[in-house]
Amino acid sequence: MIELPKDKSIAQRCAVLNLDFDESFIGEDIKNTLQAANQFAEYNKDLTLNLGNSGTGIRLLTGYIAGSGKKCTLIGDKSLSNRPMRRISDPLNTWGAKISLRENKYPPIEIAESKLQSNFIYELEIPSAQIKSCLLLAALSSKTKIEIIEKIPSRDHTERLLQECDAMIFREGNKIIFDGTKEITKKFIDVPKDFSSAAYLIAANILTDKDIPLIGIGVNKTRTAFLDVLVEMGAKIELRNGCVISNEQRADITASLNKNLKGISISGKKIPNLIDEIPLIAIMAMFAEGKTTIRDAKELRYKESDRISLLLDNMKKFNPNIGLAEFEDGFEIIPSKNLNNDSVDLETGGDHRIIMSFVIAALVTGKKINFDETESVETSFPGFFEVIKAWYQ
Ligand code: S3P
């Protein structure tokens, strides 16, 4: 059986909320967030916390700490130090926090002592689970009420965890209403296996015509639009042994090739529910028939790397015959056969998802790839290369 790491989104929320979970088989992002959250829980203020590469960690913890009213500085590695943070500091500062950023944009995030007002109402401008969660956690630690208007839904793990811990949180249409004045009940959380990690093996099964089952994967609806895309592209997906534990749906996933893969168009509300899988969809599109188009995905430019530009640069190197068009919010791929199997040097931007996606591409063609580094895969999927070697090569 293939063993997959624990869900990175859920485990980091548990870390910030100080909820117990089994800490075995977790990626570096979760370790960094756990360490920072534990340091804060122990020493409480005037700390400098290092979140490494974790965007989720820094954004969620900023909310939680700002709500607590304590002074603290949050920093990260080179990639995290260049990711936009106004998206969280602006709403928090409007709410009453005192947060400043380097160049008014990036980490370090300096949080000064402050007190949030009660009954904050905020409409999300970007469909981002990190912004939503940052604000919900701030409401919890400041013991205030918040109403968040979410026009385009994003992953709802924070809402589910709070619900699991008996918080007063509910949804009314596109509004999330949370009363943080009530203490939550601390519980042990059974964290499912990470769907976004499983996605690489789902793709590997389809592209190399294997049907190795993946067991106990989190299949929360707000995360699995990738599966719908695969079915539309021509894959066969089966979910078995579905159950809900710790308020999160999980299942065993089997994926195989049904007929020839075909290109697809994706845009609009689907995007947040498959945002982390878009690099992988682009790889699958290289081996499909017909054009693939992705739009409304500008957020990809603000991930661990600018995933639109890095993906396209690397695809062109991987197959110089491919047809590509770049848009501000997406791209278009017109596949083409490449008979040249010389090895190729790819630039990773220190981005785990870029590396793993191209490893899957190499499985199909047998092409040898030299990456400028591969360590960043550890942020989400420790043991990835061993799994690929043991099961797919
Ligand atoms: C995450 C939300 C998404 C996603 C990231 C994890 C989370 O980011 O890309 O990998 O755990 O909330 P955004 O909220 O920036 O869309």
Instruction: Give the tokens for residue 28.
Output: 């570096």
Known catalytic residue at 306 = no
Provide mean pLDDT across the span 85-92: 98
Give me the helix-helix angle, 8-17 and 55-68, nearest 10°.
20
User: Taking all residues of the chain, what is their mean pLDDT, rounded to a whole number?
Assistant: 97
Closest-CA residue, ligand 1 atom 16, reads 128
Closest-CA residue, ligand 1 atom 11, reads 9
Cα 115 to averaged position of ligand 1 atoms, centre (Å): 27
- What is the C-alpha separation between 94 and 284, in angstroms, rounded? 43
Q: Which atom of ligand 1 is nearest to the CA of 272?
A: 16
Question: 193 pairs with which residues across the strands?
Answer: 6, 217
Do 162 and 169 form a contact (C-beta atoms < 8 A)? Answer: yes
- Set out the domains of the chain in order of their start, with CATH numbers: 8-179 (3.65.10.10), 195-392 (3.65.10.10)
Instruction: Give the tokens for residue 375.
Output: 């360590």
Pocket of ligand 1 (CB under 6 A): 9, 56, 128-130, 133, 155, 275-276, 299
Q: Which atom of ligand 1 is nearest to the CA of 158?
A: 12
Provide mean pLDDT across the span 299-321: 97
Cα 61 to averaged position of ligand 1 atoms, centre (Å): 14
Cα 304 to averaged position of ligand 1 atoms, centre (Å): 11
Cα 259 to averaged position of ligand 1 atoms, centre (Å): 32
Whether residue 46 has pLDDT greater than 90: no
Q: What is the pLDDT of residues 143-201, one digit of tens each?
A: 999 999 999 999 999 999 999 999 999 999 999 999 999 999 999 999 999 999 999 99
Q: Which of 10, 56, 351 to mutate to test the pocket of ligand 1 (most atoms within 8 A of CB)?
A: 56
Cα 360 to averaged position of ligand 1 atoms, centre (Å): 22
Q: Which of 276, 342, 345, 372 is catalytic?
A: 276
Q: Which atom of ligand 1 is nearest to the CA of 130?
A: 14
Q: Which of 128, 197, 226 to mutate to test the pocket of ligand 1 (most atoms within 8 A of CB)?
A: 128
- What is the C-alpha separation between 77 and 364, in angstroms, rounded? 33
244 burial level (CB within 10 Å; 0-12, 13-18, 19+): exposed
Q: What is the pLDDT of residues 227-277, one digit of tens each?
A: 999 999 999 999 999 999 999 999 999 999 888 999 999 999 999 999 999
List Cβ neighbours of 35 (8 Å cut-off, separation of 6 or more): none
Q: Which of 130, 132, 270 to mutate to test the pocket of ligand 1 (most atoms within 8 A of CB)?
A: 130
42-47: which pairs have CB atoms within 8 A and are 24 or more residues apart? 44/70, 45/70, 45/71, 45/72, 46/70, 46/71, 46/72, 47/72, 47/73
Closest-CA residue, ligand 1 atom 9, reads 276
Q: Which atom of ligand 1 is nearest to the CA of 131?
A: 14
pLDDT at position 339 is: 74
Closest-CA residue, ligand 1 atom 10, reads 276
Rounded to two decimals, what is the model's pTM?
Answer: 0.98
- What is the C-alpha separation between 229 and 270, in angstroms, rounded? 10
Cα 384 to averaged position of ligand 1 atoms, centre (Å): 21
Provide mean pLDDT across the span 352-358: 98
Residue with tokens 């969280």: 88
Q: What is the pLDDT of residues 94-130, one digit of tens each?
A: 999 999 999 999 999 999 999 999 999 999 999 999 9
Closest-CA residue, ligand 1 atom 4, reads 276
- What is the C-alpha separation between 137 and 65, in angstroms, rounded? 9
